[in-house]
Structure 1
């Protein structure tokens, strides 16, 4: 018998250390809920899990992006909805003015409301914005909506202008001191006939085919009719003569039965343009709603896959912990027994 090296105690101590490490790892897994807490637990699994986590977070942010995109679209569509309502009211007034039961003073009152409604449409176009970005003035073009977790996963949206000029219910003239010239958005002449009326109804220049300019030094009604058959008229009441360098904005003219009748078609065309823009935005919104559902579904499935790799099976790990805990207690007891073995040597010395 040897007492300098207690091999039984050394073996029991080694096993106790192994059991202690196993119990500690089980406790870490049970307390964290993760099977992989460090690279040493599963190097390959950790690498795959981290890639999945990056993808999951990207998908969640893409879903949030799409929700923000829908908010922007809803802001635009809400403004277009109000523009629709204004145009419907303008059409209603045009239909009313086209009835000859109205006299001049009645049509003047109707015209005053139409002028204000036209100005409000332009104000909506100018002031509607989302996060300081103008939406309906024509500047919101080719904006990128990033709706994926990776590079290049995006769509583009452009929102057209809904100001009076685009809708065809207003146009502007720069007064140069010698006359007023009608121009389109590119600066080209748009009309063949211009008529100018004073408030009292006296005609100064009436339906002169081919005329592009008229003198602008007389207060009154300034009307542009485009085309030789006078199919469209734009109108504004002038309370004063316009000086050189001023901008004259002309709007829908319902001041007479004939012009009111023609304005109905003009407003119908504007309604069609707004409807087309709203339809486009609605299509984008529906698409984005499906995009969000898909992103959330993919993120959910990817999260489940990542969980199977990284999360601990609590029931299985609890069984392992119980086993290691029993072995730990057994090793402790055996170490105590092994430490008692050298005591038998004393019996030989008596």
Structure 2
């Protein structure tokens, strides 16, 4: 080369050296930060994908934290309910002890009553003080609010619902009426026995959900007397009777398929008449069995109410309809009239309430869980059918000094069932919703993190090799630049 104004070789060496230094600096940055993508220019598409995955990671971490917090809230509520359950069992023991009337003095009964009063005060205190970060858990703060409750609904308990920002109407379609099991004992012209041996009495065994009893009636005894005799053992059998002319109508005391009336004529005494099965208010055609042929058991079964709640098939149990779907978990106890009438029934409108948890990465209805926790004060434990726990207080009709101990026991049994059912729902929420959600979210977080790492993190093995290559090439480019800069000096020899 004999031209010196433009050193093309030097320019080429400078460009290559700059490229190699840029590559070396990029490798050093990636190795020092641990990230393959440090700015948008490193990989625009990869940056977008990794930032989206980072957003998902943040949402998943928040969802896991929410689920763990929900588990802690339920643990606190469960602790209070566990203590209430223990006190109810103690109350049950005191009622049983007080029933031993001949072996207990009045002073001892009054002492038992004082303990029951103290237990109810403790239950109220636990209900009003059990809290999580100042939020009361068992005083009804997390119960659902329902407006426009239908008069045909005796009790509505909403255990869970997905409301979002809207209200929810509860509508029922009843397609099967609730019925009590029933039989009709029809004495043709009254109870007239024969005159032969063994015909001095009419003996029949009647049974129900609670037990059975053998009844014996004399010739000429009125159906009203028979009904009275049967009703005196209602607490033993679970059936009651009313006289209707020359017939005695016997029904189960409760509605539902588990409540029935059975009859077996042990000795017809020569009496004329028959047993027929009742279906609702009508006698089943073809069910009539003569007394003389009724050695086997004739049985009339009850029927559970059946229907749909908000378009979902509901489970019937007596007068109660239960629905447990993703959108609604509720128990609806209908009045006798409502449960016996087929058709549509507008139950009411859920306007809000419930303990709301967001257990997913997205803030929407799909990831929303609302858990209903009612007020567990003594005045609310029990039900409208048997009574409430406050009825056991001093001077109330179910106190243990001079009150109805049978009612007291029924109320405590209902309260124990209510508290244990609530504990079971909370336990199911923890086990089947919260903990399974934490496990699922944990697996998703691992996979999302792995995907984000594959896109954004530095592969140290590959990047170290790239840095070594860049170092060698940068050194070679530097040496080549020196040679290119020295080459024009050979022109000086031509001037010598």
Greater strand share, 1 or 2? 2
TM over 0.5: yes
Matches within 5 A, 1:12-31: 12-31=13-32
What residue number does 2:92 align with? 91
Gaps of 5+ in 1: 170-183, 185-189, 191-224, 239-249
SS in 2 for 1:31: helix
CA contact (8 A) 2:382 2:418 kept: no
What residue number does 1:260 align with? 405
What residue number does 1:273 align with? 418
SS in 2 for 1:54: helix
Deviation, structure 1 residue 260: 3.4
Q: Deviations over 1:102-145 (max 9, x none)?
A: 10011111111111001111111111111222211122132321
Q: Is 2:378 the partner of 1:164?
A: yes
CA contact (8 A) 2:355 2:371 kept: yes
Q: Is 2:494 the partner of 1:337?
A: no
Deviation, structure 1 residue 344: 1.5
Q: Is 2:311 the partner of 1:310?
A: no
Greater helix share, 1 or 2? 1
SS in 2 for 1:145: strand
User: In structure 1, how many angstroms separate the alpha carbons of the residues matched to 2:438 and 2:463?
Assistant: 37
Q: Is 2:391 the partner of 1:234?
A: yes
Matches within 5 A, 1:37-116: 37-100=38-101, 101-116=103-118
What residue number does 2:492 align with? 346
Matches within 5 A, 1:188-337: 234-237=391-394, 250=396, 253-256=399-402, 259-286=404-431, 287-337=433-483
User: In structure 2, how many angstroms separate the alpha carbons of the residues matched to 1:78 and 1:284?
Assistant: 15
Change (3 A) 1:27 1:233: closer
Q: Deviations over 1:165-217 (max 9, x none)?
A: 11139xxxxxxxxxxxxxx7xxxxx9xxxxxxxxxxxxxxxxxxxxxxxxxxx
SS in 1 for 2:380: helix
User: In structure 1, how many angstroms separate the alpha carbons of the residues matched to 2:479 and 2:493?
Assistant: 23
What residue number does 2:133 align with? 131
Deviation, structure 1 residue 33: 1.1
What residue number does 2:121 align with? 119
Change (3 A) 1:299 1:119: same
How many pairs align?
Answer: 281
CA contact (8 A) 1:115 1:252 kept: no
CA contact (8 A) 1:12 1:334 kept: yes
Runs of 4+ off more than 4 Å: none
Deviation, structure 1 residue 345: 1.8
Change (3 A) 1:233 1:28: closer
What residue number does 2:358 align with? 146
Gaps of 5+ in 2: 144-353
User: In structure 2, how many angstroms separate the alpha carbons of the residues matched to 1:232 and 1:3?
Assistant: 109
Kindly report the root-mean-square deviation, in angstroms, between the aligned alpha carbons of the 2 structures.
Answer: 2.2
CA contact (8 A) 2:380 2:389 kept: no
CA contact (8 A) 2:398 2:407 kept: no
CA contact (8 A) 1:233 1:253 kept: no
User: In structure 2, how many angstroms separate the alpha carbons of the residues matched to 1:120 and 1:330?
Assistant: 87
Deviation, structure 1 residue 41: 1.0
Change (3 A) 1:299 1:235: closer
SS in 2 for 1:151: coil
CA contact (8 A) 1:84 1:271 kept: yes
